[in-house]
Structure 1
Amino acid sequence: MIQDFAIVMVIASVMALIFYKIKQPMVIGYIAAGMLIGPYTPPFSLVTHPEVVNLLAEIGIVLLLFVVGLEYPIAKLRSVGKKALIIATTEAFGTLALGYIVGQAMGLAFFDSLFLALSISVTSTVIVMRVLEELGMIKDKAAVLLLGVAVIEDIIIVSILAVLQSVAATGSLSIQEVGISVGLVLAFIGGALFLGSKTVPKFVDMVSKTNHHDLIIVAVLGVAFGLSFLANQIGVSVAAGAFFAGVLVAESKSHAIARVLSMPLRDMFAALFFVSVGALMDISLLPLFIVPALILIATSFAGKFATVYISAKLMGTDKKTSLKSGFALSASGGELALVTAKGGADVGATSAFILPMVGTMTIITTFLSPYVIKFGWKFANSLRQKEEEEEKGDVPPA
């Protein structure tokens, strides 16, 4: 284990430094490091216990989303709550419908099309937030909106997955099971925000009065992992649980101290998460699935971008923010896409090629995400600047 940890951290630091020097997102450097040391890279895997790396990566997800949640107190989330809910619902179901139609056009079976469509409807909250933070865009107006959309979308996707698995396993749609699944999700969010807001901030402030930093970090991490565990137990993603833990700690008077203390841990384990994503990527599968994967990636991008941009505009969001949100949310498939594809395989509903195909798509979209987000932000900013110049009469209208 010590050998594995040493290899991961040394290779990750070298690759991150290289990508920093060539002015590329360090996330890509971490993923490249994972591909170098992973089990699918010949002649042999440098990591002897990949399950340990994956465990540390799960910790990375919790810490990363917890720190992101610290930037979004309840009042800030409430300001985009209605918009985020409508945009997330439109995006999830719009992309799902488009993906299913494309899957059927490609000659796939009914459940293959459904689970594949659900997989391409996913946006990785972890990857999008990390890229935005690295590019210094996390406090942008669009970042608040798309974070709310991404978190709600995760919950919607997990709920749809539970319904699809139930239908595939039993051959019938149980309204009762759907109701229970949705009710549990709503109960978790309501409980976290209502009960949590009355207890967690007071607890964190009480601990902070001791002025012992070691005690503060242990307390806030207890909140983060405790809420992540509860979320996982009722079928909500650990990422959503960690995010809401951060939101609750952000309500305390000591949230700034908690954030500063959490950052070093977050950075280390977040690096492990992206290394593990790279290690799971089997590049040898790319030639087999590259064409259908590219078709589905294009479908996913078109569906997400169109639904997010149009619904954001209809909700009264300005053009610049709508464009940024559209690009960011359409850019990534992420780890939940693999979970969704595996969910179909677990109940025997999908063909054997679905999981590796989604894996191939994940490889491509994970690499593309930082560049798509960066381009989208620059495009939206330049378009807005051009419009402002035209309004002032500095540039003649095109």
Structure 2
Amino acid sequence: MNHETAGITSFLPQFFTPGEGSADFIVQDFAAVMIVAAVMIAITYKLKQPSVIGYILAGIIIGPFTPPFTLVSNLDTINVLAELGIIMLLFVIGTEFPMARLRTIGRLSAVVGMTESVATLIIVFFIAQTLGFNFFDSLFLALALSITSTVVTVKVLEELGMIKSQSTTLVLGMLIIEDIFVVSALAVLQSVAVNNGEVSLPTLAITLGVVGAFIGGILYLGSKSIPKVIDMAGKTNDYALLLIVILGLAFGLSFLASGLGMSVAIGAFLAGVLVAESNSAAVARILTLPLRDMFTAIFFISIGALMDISLVPVFIVPAAILILTSFASKFLIVTAILNRMKFDNLTSLRAAFGMAPARGELSLVVIKGGQDVGALSSSILPLFGVITIVTTFMAPFIIKFGSRLRFTDDKSTKKEGQPYS
């Protein structure tokens, strides 16, 4: 028996101790994950905090780095389940983005979203280099900190009753652009990392070509046939058949993306976009939501379980600097661009407060993606775990602060969203 299982199994009667290689290990791990997660989610719900915090804390509790013993026998099992969580999370996000919606995002959201994401990535990269992180650690950290958590931000805006406001419309458009940007950029970064960090122009051109051809090919060819297949399955009124078809699509494209050296996230996201093109998209989302919630929970729990909390005190200062850098970059860039485009101060600041604080699901996918290809140091996961917990905790308060802003100057007394004449 290995050292990871010795702690927990020594507390169990002999006839409850699973044998080496037994399926009981998986049952034991899954039971520990679900029970601890349920307790932590109940606590965070009572404290009115986002569930992602409860999931990460649950992972820390059950993980091998938290004394006195680990509650899971094999982290490989948790990692496999986490991979499934990434696929389901990105698939369901993709189902929210039919191509018709992507075309209606508007040039404004596209310009602001791309500008603030790329600019934040560059700024954070150089700050991370200044702090002493190596090239790939800095690059993956910069990409992870350049995107805002869609789940946390939208949830807070809904709770504040701001989902239909002009500033929220701008935020939602920028979030869509960021999601597409990060999924594509992650594929490129992983490919470069797998090639031992070669960043020559020919290598980069080939990588971009493969990613572009994959995305373009799937969207162009897939949109002509896949939605029809899904609708054929939907017309049978056999929900089991429809579920199997869409899961086959999600995992099939994820496998294809992985085989081409890209993240499974990009395949899953594109599968969701294709499903969104079908007439059965609404039913597909309902069918996959429970699976998404379960596996997404396991994904966040696995992040917590892989965190060595003994390293956290070492990274408090770098984490604080990186959080402030990404927050200030996004806030100032979004405010400046929207003011430049003649939006009133209220709309500009509310949109900036909406985009600046939260880092969450896709940020962790980026860090996990870097870890999966061996590009990151062991210190990056606990560092970003601290960043995620802090920013997720702060986000509701910061967005609420933005929602309560009022101005008395002549220009700003206009209704939110009204540009200056």
For the superposition of Structure 1 and Structure 2, which TM-score range results when normalised by the shorter chain? 0.7 to 0.9
Q: Is the 8 A contact 1:119 1:333 kept in 2?
A: no
Q: Could you tell me how far 1:273 is from its partner in structure 2?
A: 0.9
Q: 2:6 aligns to what?
A: none
3-state secondary structure, aligned to 1:24? coil
- Counterparts of 1:313 and 1:117 in 2: how far apart (Å)? 31
3-state secondary structure, aligned to 1:383? coil
When structure 1 is superposed on structure 2, of 81-90 and 283-292 the one drifting more is 81-90
Looking at secondary structure, tell me which structure has more helix per residue: 1
Q: Which amino acid aligns with 1:145?
A: M
When structure 1 is superposed on structure 2, of 4-13 and 286-295 the one drifting more is 286-295
Unaligned runs of 5+ in 1: 347-353, 393-398
Q: 2:206 aligns to what?
A: 180
C-alpha RMSD over aligned residues = 3.3
Q: Could you tell me how far 1:49 is from its partner in structure 2?
A: 1.4
Q: Is the 8 A contact 1:96 1:121 kept in 2?
A: yes
- Counterparts of 1:314 and 1:80 in 2: how far apart (Å)? 19
- Counterparts of 1:297 and 1:20 in 2: how far apart (Å)? 25
Q: 2:354 aligns to what?
A: 324
Q: Could you tell me how far 1:95 is from its partner in structure 2?
A: 3.2
Say if 2:401 is the partner of 1:379: yes
Distance 1:299 1:330, change over 3 A: farther
Q: Could you tell me how far 1:82 is from its partner in structure 2?
A: 4.9
Unaligned runs of 5+ in 2: 1-25, 416-421
- Counterparts of 2:342 and 2:219 in 1: how far apart (Å)? 26
Q: Is the 8 A contact 2:359 2:388 kept in 1?
A: no
- Counterparts of 1:127 and 1:282 in 2: how far apart (Å)? 25
Distance 1:192 1:87, change over 3 A: farther
Counterpart mapping for 1:330-369 below 5 A:
333-340=363-370, 346=375, 355-369=377-391
Counterpart mapping for 1:210-289 below 5 A:
210-289=236-315
Q: Is the 8 A contact 2:328 2:356 kept in 1?
A: no
Q: Deviations over 1:132-152 (max 9, x none)?
A: 465474975223431321221
- Counterparts of 2:379 and 2:330 in 1: how far apart (Å)? 20
* TM, length-normalised to structure 1: 0.82
Q: Could you tell me how far 1:264 is from its partner in structure 2?
A: 1.3
Q: Could you tell me how far 1:315 is from its partner in structure 2?
A: 6.8
Q: Which amino acid aligns with 2:211?
A: V
Number of positions where the alignment pairs a residue of Structure 1 with one of Structure 2? 377
Q: Deviations over 1:149-187 (max 9, x none)?
A: 122133224424544775x656xx522111110111111
Q: Is the 8 A contact 1:342 1:355 kept in 2?
A: no
When structure 1 is superposed on structure 2, of 324-333 and 186-195 the one drifting more is 324-333
Q: Is the 8 A contact 2:110 2:174 kept in 1?
A: no
Q: 2:5 aligns to what?
A: none
1:71 equivalent among 96, 121, 145: 96
Q: Deviations over 1:105-141 (max 9, x none)?
A: 44x3xxx453343133223899923324654749752
- Counterparts of 1:75 and 1:330 in 2: how far apart (Å)? 27
Counterpart mapping for 1:1-398 below 5 A:
1-80=26-105, 82=107, 86-87=111-112, 89-103=114-128, 105-106=130-131, 108=132, 112-123=133-144, 128-132=149-153, 134-135=155-156, 137=158, 141=169, 142-160=171-189, 162-163=191-192, 166=195, 169=197, 173-311=199-337, 319=348, 320-328=350-358, 333-340=363-370, 346=375, 355-383=377-405, 390-391=413-414
Distance 1:371 1:309, change over 3 A: farther
Q: Deviations over 1:196-241 (max 9, x none)?
A: 1111110110011111111011011111111222222233322232
Q: Could you tell me how far 1:94 is from its partner in structure 2?
A: 2.5
- Counterparts of 1:47 and 1:28 in 2: how far apart (Å)? 20
Q: Is the 8 A contact 2:360 2:392 kept in 1?
A: no
3-state secondary structure, aligned to 1:80? coil
Q: Could you tell me how far 1:30 is from its partner in structure 2?
A: 1.3
Distance 1:154 1:19, change over 3 A: same
3-state secondary structure, aligned to 1:122? helix
Q: Is the 8 A contact 2:359 2:392 kept in 1?
A: no
Q: Could you tell me how far 1:309 is from its partner in structure 2?
A: 4.6
Q: Is the 8 A contact 1:217 1:262 kept in 2?
A: yes
Distance 1:258 1:224, change over 3 A: same
When structure 1 is superposed on structure 2, of 69-78 and 32-41 the one drifting more is 69-78
Q: Is the 8 A contact 1:220 1:249 kept in 2?
A: yes
Distance 1:232 1:84, change over 3 A: farther
Q: Deviations over 1:290-340 (max 9, x none)?
A: 223322332233334434554566578752434423334699842413543
Q: Which amino acid aligns with 2:99?
A: I
- Counterparts of 1:46 and 1:200 in 2: how far apart (Å)? 43
3-state secondary structure, aligned to 1:4? helix
Q: Is the 8 A contact 2:187 2:266 kept in 1?
A: no
- Counterparts of 1:77 and 1:242 in 2: how far apart (Å)? 17
Q: Which amino acid aligns with 2:377?
A: L
3-state secondary structure, aligned to 1:121? helix
Q: Which amino acid aligns with 2:96?
A: E
Q: Could you tell me how far 1:67 is from its partner in structure 2?
A: 1.6
Q: Could you tell me how far 1:260 is from its partner in structure 2?
A: 1.2
Larger-gyration structure (1/2): 2
